[in-house]
Chain A
Amino acid sequence: MMDFDNLTITTAATLIKKGELSPVELLESKLQRITKLDGQLNSFIHLLMDDARRTAQNCEREIVSGNYRGPLHGIPIGLKDVYNLAGVPTTAHSKIMQDYVPSSDAFSVKRLKEAGAIIMGKLATHEFAFGGPSFDLPWPLARNPWDTTRFTGGSSSGSAVAVAAGLILGGIASDTGGSIRTPAAYCGVAGLKPTYGLISRSGILPLAWSLESAGPMAWTAEDCAILLQAMAGFDPMDPTSMNCPIPDYSAALTNDIKGLRVGLLRQFYTIDNPVNDATRNAIDAAAHDLEKMGCIVNEIQLSPLAEWNACGVIIMVTEAYANHEANLQQRFMDYGEIFRDRLALAGLFTAADYIQAVRRRRELIEEFDRKMNDFDVILTATTANEAPKIEAIGKFSIFERPLLTIPYNVTGSPAMTVCSGYSDAGLPLSMQIIGKRFEDTTVLRVVDAYERATAWRRRRPVLQ
C-alpha cells in the first residue's frame, strides 16, 4: 500500500510519470490528511478544495493523453499568504488585507501553474511576514507538528508546518531576514532562500524590497530544486529580477561534493550568538561528515554578527515602516500588537540611520565576496536552538539577539536550512549552507549530498 503521507515531490513525480499514481488520488489523500490534522496545526488560511480537485482532474487528463509537463505536474503545493493568486484573498495573515482579492497571479505562481502544480490553498504566515507569534489576528497561529506547544518560527510558518506534516509536498515561501530558513529549521524541513533576484518578487506582498527573496520549502533539497526550477526566471515587472541563464538544478545534484571548499563559520554560533550544545554538536558532526565526503573544511571569519544584524534589521524595518506608514497612521489598531509595536519602534530610526545601514551593506558585501574567494560554501547555524516554547518568544525578540540568518539577506546570497539531527526531546536540529550569489546549484548539491549521507530525512513527526 502506498505511503501517501510521506511522499516527496521526487517520488510522487516518478510514480505519476509512470502512471502508477493518479494526481486525483494523491490530492484526495492530502485533502483527507488536512481534514484530519489541520484543525490542530492551523497551517491553511484558505483551502481551495474545489479548485484543487478541478486542477487535479485536468492534470490527470493531460498526463493520460501523453502531455506530461514535468516533475511538478499533478503535485499538490501551498502558497504563503503573501503570494497573489487570482480571485483568492491574499491577506498576509492581517486584518488590514483581509478584503484584498488580486485579479492576477504572482509571476512565480504563474510559473508553478504552468509547470502543472496544483495550488491547494493559502498558508499561514506571521503578519505581513514579520509580526508573530500572534494570537490577535483574524486567523490562528500555525502550530509546530513536532510539538504543538513549540514555536514554528516565522514568518513562513504555514509553509513549513504543512510540508513537515505531509499536508502538501511543496511550500512556497519568502525570506527577508530568515523567514524561510527559520521555520524550516524549527519544523525540520529543507528551505532555500535563493539568490536575490533569481525569483521575481512581483505579485508578492513585500516586507522589505531590498532584502526579500521568494523561495521553496520541501522535505528534501532534491524537491526544493524542482520547485526552484519552476519559480526562477526573468520578469521585467520586477526591477531586481536578473536576466541570467537558469541552470538545470536537479541535474546538478550529482551526490559528488569532493574537493568543495567549506568555510565553517563557528564565530557566529559560538561567540556572537552562542547556540546550545545540541545544535553546536550537530554542526560539528556535519562538518566531519562533509570532510568524509571529500570536502575541504576550514574556518572562516567575518565581521561580528551584531554588525550584520544591525545592518539587515535597520534596512528591513525601515523599508517595512515606509511601506506601512499610511496604514500605521490611520489603522494602527487593525494590526496585531507585535507587528504594530515593532514598526512603531522602527519609526524611531532616521533617514540617516537607513543610509548608514545601506553604506554598511556595501562594505559587508565586499567583505563577504573577498572571503568567499577561498570557499565554495559556508556551513553555520540557522538558529540558536531547536524550536522554543511559544511563550518564550517576546514582542521584540528579533531585536534582542542577532539573527544567524540575516547576513545572507544583506549579501543576497543563496542560503539553505537543512536538518542536522534531533534533540533529546525529538525536535529537529538544523544548520545552514550558504553559497556565492547565483551559485544556488552548489548549495543544493551540498545539502542534497548531506541528506543522502545521513538518516535525518527518514524521521517524520508523529501526528494523531
Chain B
Amino acid sequence: MLIKVSNNLCLGEKMTKEELDIALMNLGLQVPETERADILNAVKYIEEMKTLVRKPRFLTTEPANTIAFPKLK
C-alpha cells in the first residue's frame, strides 16, 4: 500500500527521517539505513532548488521543451 507524502516541503521546513523513509518506500527504493542519513542531510539542497525555479508566472508561460510536431510536407 502506498502512503501519500508530500515531497514539496516549504523552505525552511526540515524533512524528518520518517518522511524520508516513506518517500523512499513510495519510490520503491531499497536504500540502506546507513545511507539514509546522508540523503536526509542533502534534502536542504533540493528544497532550495525547488524554490529557485518557481517565479511568478502567468498560466500561459510555456516550458522550454513544448513539443512542436514536424511540419507536414
The yes or no answer to B33 lying at the interface (CB within 8 A) is no
Closest to A328 in B: B29
Does B24 lie within 8 Å of A344, measured CB to CB? yes
Does B39 lie within 8 Å of A345, measured CB to CB? yes
Does B64 lie within 8 Å of A365, measured CB to CB? yes
Does B50 lie within 8 Å of A353, measured CB to CB? yes
**Min CB gap B55→A, angstroms:** 7
Residues from chain B with Cβ under 8 Å of A328 in the complex: 27-29
Complex Cα distance, B43 from A348, in Å, reads: 8
The yes or no answer to B31 lying at the interface (CB within 8 A) is yes
Closest to A342 in B: B42
Residues from chain B with Cβ under 8 Å of A395 in the complex: 38, 42
Closest to A358 in B: B63
The yes or no answer to A311 lying at the interface (CB within 8 A) is yes
Does A344 lie within 8 Å of B27, measured CB to CB? yes
Does B27 lie within 8 Å of A314, measured CB to CB? no
The yes or no answer to A276 lying at the interface (CB within 8 A) is no
Closest to B49 in A: A310
The yes or no answer to A87 lying at the interface (CB within 8 A) is no
The yes or no answer to A100 lying at the interface (CB within 8 A) is no
Does B31 lie within 8 Å of A341, measured CB to CB? yes
Complex Cα distance, B9 from A214, in Å, reads: 36
Closest to A326 in B: B28
Residues from chain B with Cβ under 8 Å of A346 in the complex: 46
The yes or no answer to B71 lying at the interface (CB within 8 A) is no
Residues 1-44 of chain B: 1 if any A CB is under 8 Å from the residue's CB, otherwise 0? 00000011000000000000001100111111001001101110
Residues from chain A with Cβ under 8 Å of B27 in the complex: 328-329, 344, 347
Residues from chain B with Cβ under 8 Å of A286 in the complex: none
A310-B48, A344-B29 as given contacts; A355 in contact with B63, CB under 8 Å:
yes
Complex Cα distance, B28 from A230, in Å, reads: 43
The yes or no answer to B53 lying at the interface (CB within 8 A) is yes
Residues from chain B with Cβ under 8 Å of A337 in the complex: 35
Residues from chain A with Cβ under 8 Å of B39 in the complex: 341, 344-345
Does B64 lie within 8 Å of A362, measured CB to CB? yes
Does B24 lie within 8 Å of A314, measured CB to CB? no
Does B53 lie within 8 Å of A356, measured CB to CB? yes
Complex Cα distance, B5 from A350, in Å, reads: 11
Closest to A353 in B: B50
The yes or no answer to A307 lying at the interface (CB within 8 A) is yes
Residues from chain B with Cβ under 8 Å of A399 in the complex: 42, 45-46, 49
Closest to A400 in B: B45
Does B55 lie within 8 Å of A360, measured CB to CB? yes
**Min CB gap B1→A, angstroms:** 17
Most buried by A among B32, B46, B65: B46
Complex Cα distance, B45 from A310, in Å, reads: 9
The yes or no answer to A462 lying at the interface (CB within 8 A) is no
Q: B52's contact among A306, A333, A361, A363, by CB below 8 Å, is which?
A: A306
Does A396 lie within 8 Å of B45, measured CB to CB? yes
Does A329 lie within 8 Å of B46, measured CB to CB? no
Residues from chain B with Cβ under 8 Å of A310 in the complex: 48-50, 52-53
**Min CB gap B27→A, angstroms:** 4
Closest to B40 in A: A345
Residues from chain B with Cβ under 8 Å of A350 in the complex: 7-8
Does B46 lie within 8 Å of A345, measured CB to CB? yes
Residues from chain A with Cβ under 8 Å of B35 in the complex: 337, 340-341, 344
Does A357 lie within 8 Å of B53, measured CB to CB? yes
Closest to A346 in B: B46
Complex Cα distance, B11 from A358, in Å, reads: 20
Does A332 lie within 8 Å of B29, measured CB to CB? yes
The yes or no answer to A416 lying at the interface (CB within 8 A) is no
Most buried by A among B8, B27, B45, B64: B64
Residues from chain A with Cβ under 8 Å of B45 in the complex: 345, 396, 399-400
Closest to A411 in B: B64
19 sampled A-B residue pairs with Cβ under 8 A: A306-B48, A307-B53, A310-B53, A313-B49, A328-B28, A329-B28, A329-B29, A332-B31, A337-B35, A344-B35, A345-B39, A345-B43, A345-B46, A348-B46, A349-B46, A353-B49, A359-B62, A395-B42, A396-B42
Considering the complex of A and B, which 5 residue pairs feature the smallest CB-CB distances, nearest first?
A358-B63, A399-B45, A310-B52, A310-B49, A361-B64
Task: Enumerate chain A interface residues (CB-CB to B < 8 A).
Answer: 210, 306-307, 309-311, 313-314, 328-329, 332-333, 337, 340-341, 344-350, 352-353, 355-363, 365, 395-396, 399-400
